[in-house]
Structure 1
Amino acid sequence: MTNLNRLTPIEAAHQFVNEHFPNCKGALLAGSVVRGEATEKSDLDIVIFDKNLRTSYRESLIEYGWHIEVFAHNLTSYKQFFKMDYERARPSMPKMVSEGIVLKDDGIIESIKKEANDLLHNGPQEWSEETINTKRYFLSDALDDFIGSTNRSEELFIASALAELLSEFVLRTNRQWIGTSKWVYRSLKDYDEEFANQFVKAFDIFYKTGNKGQVIELADNVLQPFGGKLFDGFSLGKR
């Protein structure tokens, strides 16, 4: 951290809660500072549980020398976010609650953390065969675009789409949580560190040299247990 005069994350979080939410029933500090992954640009993710709030909301502030992201809930609204995160297989709120350091607790945090931990442990809903085939088709389509393209500018964007589809397919067919941005790699690493490194290496080689070979091989290996690429006979919405 470059600002040596600012409060520590815990000090700043405690002060923020005491000043802005003195009557809340519980508060947690989550995010990269809790995981030991903070950078100069990291912010403080603070989850608030306040029975007086009519609705949940998110707010961004700068106080005490820190960028602060507030995730404010009443004592039931967080459940809807747990449900939405479960359905999209991206457990943002459950992860924050699970990993969060307790800033304040009037006897509610243990049960909420248990809800989050149970959800994370059970994993996302299993994909149906229909969903697998649909995802397999679109992954195959992106792979064929990638193989066939000779336009470097277009290839860069095709590769980006392919990486997202491929990571989602691997994780969801193995009932693992997915993520976006930096959480794509973190999710892959949580699932299988060796595969995550192979994934990164394949795309890194393509971006540096234009060689598509390892990306194609990786995608073919992922699709192979499900019957390989899918085109002939696929339909969507036909009655």
Structure 2
Amino acid sequence: MKRNDPLEVARKIVEKHFPTCQGALLAGSVVRNEATKTSDLDIVIFDSQLEASYRESLKEFGWPVEIFVHNLISYKSFFKSDCERARPSLPQMVSEGIILKEGGFIEGIKKEAQELLDKGPEEWSEETIRMKRYFITDTLDDFIGCSQRAEELFIANALADLLSEFILRTNRKWIGTSKWNVRLLKRYDEKLADAFVEALDLFYREGDKHPIIQFVEDTLKPYGGRLFEGFSIGKKKEKWQQ
């Protein structure tokens, strides 16, 4: 069934539910020309009268809708927390969003969001890289040693998530979840992303673990390879007196 024009629908939703707001944006897959038959509308609202931010889901005019409502201060804490976890959901929505209603400040917030995206996430410390190497090694060992197909599938999924994060964060790139993992990997290095997908696909189709194992080892090699022996978290150094 053909759905109504997303931009027209988004404007109607703002007029219906947020008539006094000072600003509104339409974001998400529809503005990136990536919408599918199950895509929803992401709408960001700015309302200076709002005491606290909130998120709401509804269905209007044939579309599922996700609404993210902020006042003129609350969005800043979301920008900050999103960037700290290296998943800039709100900055991305604001930056890419099509303006539905402009109260004289939306362009400024969009610029603020884009500057955060351009800056990229904070660089991982050597300690963090070492910790991530250990967790990837531990999961890889589980994967190699496992002989139960059902368990192998779930371990492979966990390994894919850990490795996607490692590749992106060690190169100071933003991370995501689910479909965004492969999208962000392709933005960073399409050839590498294709090799990763091919290794996973071969395992899922034929049960061949070797391409994944090799891909993991090639990824960790520049950072010292697998890590298990000697790794420690939280151990306090003893102070010996003469």
Looking at structure 1, the residues matched to 25 and 150 of structure 2 have their Cα atoms a distance apart, in angstroms, of 44
Aligned to 1:93: 90
Gaps of 5+ in 1: none
Within 5 Å, give how 1:127-138 maps onto structure 2: 127-138=124-135
Within 5 Å, give how 1:55-204 maps onto structure 2: 55-204=52-201
After TM superposition, which residue ranges in structure 1, 4 or more long, deviate above 3 angstroms? none
Looking at structure 1, the residues matched to 11 and 109 of structure 2 have their Cα atoms a distance apart, in angstroms, of 20
Looking at structure 2, the residues matched to 82 and 237 of structure 1 have their Cα atoms a distance apart, in angstroms, of 31
Gaps of 5+ in 2: 237-242
Looking at structure 2, the residues matched to 76 and 12 of structure 1 have their Cα atoms a distance apart, in angstroms, of 27
Within 5 Å, give how 1:218-229 maps onto structure 2: 218-229=215-226
1:215 pairs with 2:212: yes
**C-alpha deviation, 1:110, in angstroms:** 1.1
Looking at structure 1, the residues matched to 183 and 91 of structure 2 have their Cα atoms a distance apart, in angstroms, of 16
RMSD over aligned Cα, in angstroms?
0.8
**C-alpha deviation, 1:135, in angstroms:** 0.5
Deviation per residue, 1:41-61 (Å, 9 max, x gap): 111100000101100000001
**C-alpha deviation, 1:144, in angstroms:** 1.0
Looking at structure 1, the residues matched to 8 and 225 of structure 2 have their Cα atoms a distance apart, in angstroms, of 54
Aligned to 2:239: none
Aligned to 1:48: 45
Q: % of aligned pairs identical? A: 64
Structure 2 residue corresponding to 1:21, chosen from 18, 23, 42: 18
TM-score (normalizing by structure 2): 0.96
**C-alpha deviation, 1:152, in angstroms:** 1.1
Looking at structure 2, the residues matched to 52 and 64 of structure 1 have their Cα atoms a distance apart, in angstroms, of 27
Looking at structure 1, the residues matched to 4 and 171 of structure 2 have their Cα atoms a distance apart, in angstroms, of 42
Q: How many residues align?
A: 236
Deviation per residue, 1:49-97 (Å, 9 max, x gap): 0101100000001111111110000001011111111111001101100
**C-alpha deviation, 1:201, in angstroms:** 0.6
Letter in 2 for 1:141: D
Deviation per residue, 1:19-38 (Å, 9 max, x gap): 11111111000011111011
Letter in 1 for 2:186: K
Deviation per residue, 1:147-175 (Å, 9 max, x gap): 11111111111101100000001111110
TM-score (normalizing by structure 1): 0.97
Looking at structure 2, the residues matched to 121 and 83 of structure 1 have their Cα atoms a distance apart, in angstroms, of 14
